Amino acid sequence: MKNGTMRSVINLNWFTVAPGVWGLRDLFVNVYLIHNAVDKKWVLVDTGRKHTAAKIVELADNFFWPDSKPAAIILTHGHFDHVGSVAELAREWDVPVYAHLMELPYLTGLSAYPPADPWAGGGLMSVVSPAFPAGPINIADHIKMLPEDGSVPDLPEWKYIHTPGHSPGHISLFRKRDRLLIAGDAFVTTQQESALSVMLQTRKIAGPPRYLTSDWEAAGKSVAALAALEPEIVATGHGQPMRGSQMRKMLHKLADNFEEMAVPHHGRYSKQPAVADESGVTFIPTAPDKKLPIAGVVAGIAMVATVAWLLYRKNKKRRESFWMELGKEVERQIEKSAPSLI
C-alpha cells in the first residue's frame, strides 16, 4: 500500500477475485492484476479503454508501491476495449507485452479485425458497434509471443489456453490450484450486448460479445474446453466474477447449447466465419443485404442521452455516469468513423 493507506483508491471500481488476484472495472470492461507472491512480481492482464491507464497506475501504486511496475502485460486479445491503454502503459513502465501468435497482426499494425456485427442483435451495444475501432494498433517495440508450451511469463502457477472464436488469438488463463479461470471474452458474465445489463452488472453466463465475435464454431469449441476445466471461480472481460456449482451448471448449459444460446440468428458471421492466419484477416463474409443506416446509430446515442437525463433527474449518479460515459465513448468513435457507417 502506498504510504500505508488505500484512501486514494476509494473512487476506483476495484474488486477482489481470489487471493492475489484483483480486478478493476472501467465503464464496461475489466482488467486484472495478478500477484506472484513467490517472486514478488505482478502481472497486468489486459489494459481496458484508452482512458483507463491512469486508473490502472493508481491502483498499482496503492497495491504494490514502491515496486509498482509489473513484470509484464498479458493480453487476452487485442480488441479496442482490452488494449486501449497498452501503448501508454508499455511505454511508461517499459515492460514486455505478451499475446498469442494469432493475435500479433492486430497488435503490430498488419491487419484490422473483421468489421463489427450490428446485425448480431441483443441490445444497444450491438447497434452502436460499428463505431468501435477495429484496429490495428502497433506496439511492435514491446510485443512478444506467448510461449508455445502454455506457460505464462512471470506467473509459474498459471497456464494459458488458446480460446479462439471471439478473436483468432484469444487466450484464457487458468490457475489449477484453486481452479481460477480468467476467461477474457471467450464467455462473459453479463449480457454484454445490452447496455442496461452492463450498467446493472446483471450476473449471467453468456457467450462472447456477439458484435465482435467473427467465428462462432471456434467460439463454441472454446467454451466447451473451458467448461471442461470445471472452474471454481470465473472472472471475465465483462461482468462480475462468479463461482461455485451454480456457475458451473450455467457454464455447462452454455457449452451444451451454444448455438441456441449464443449464436445470433441473423449475424454477419452466424453461418460463415471470418478467416485469419498469422498475417491477419484473409476473408470476410458478405454483410447481410440490409445495410445498417446511420440513423440507427444516432438513435442509439439519443437513447443513451435520454436515459442519462432521466436518471439524472432521479439523482442516480452512478447510473447517470455509466450512460454519460458510454454516450461519450460512442460519440468519440462516431466522429472518427461516421463515413464508414453510411
pLDDT digits (tens, 9 = 90+) for 231-275: 999 999 999 999 999 999 999 999 999 999 999 999 999 999 999
Distance between CA 326 and CA 300 in Å, rounded? Answer: 11
Does residue 208 carry a pLDDT above 60? Answer: yes
| Nearest residue to 175 via CA among 135, 234, 228 | 234
Instruction: Identify the pLDDT of residue 342.
Output: 32
More confident residue, 38 or 195: 38
Task: Give the residue with greater pLDDT, 316 vs 280.
Answer: 280
Question: CA 192, CA 275: separation in Å to the nearest integer?
Answer: 24
The whole-number pLDDT of residue 12 equals: 83
| pLDDT value of residue 3 | 44
29, three cell numbers: 470492461
Per-residue pLDDT, 269: 98
pLDDT band at 125 (very low <50, low <70, confident <90, very high): confident
Q: DSSP characters for 214-247?
A: --HHHHHHHHHHHHTT--SEEEESSB--EEHHHH
Higher-confidence residue of 269 and 317: namely 269
Q: How far apart are CA 291 and CA 309, in angstroms?
A: 30
Cell of 268: 454477419
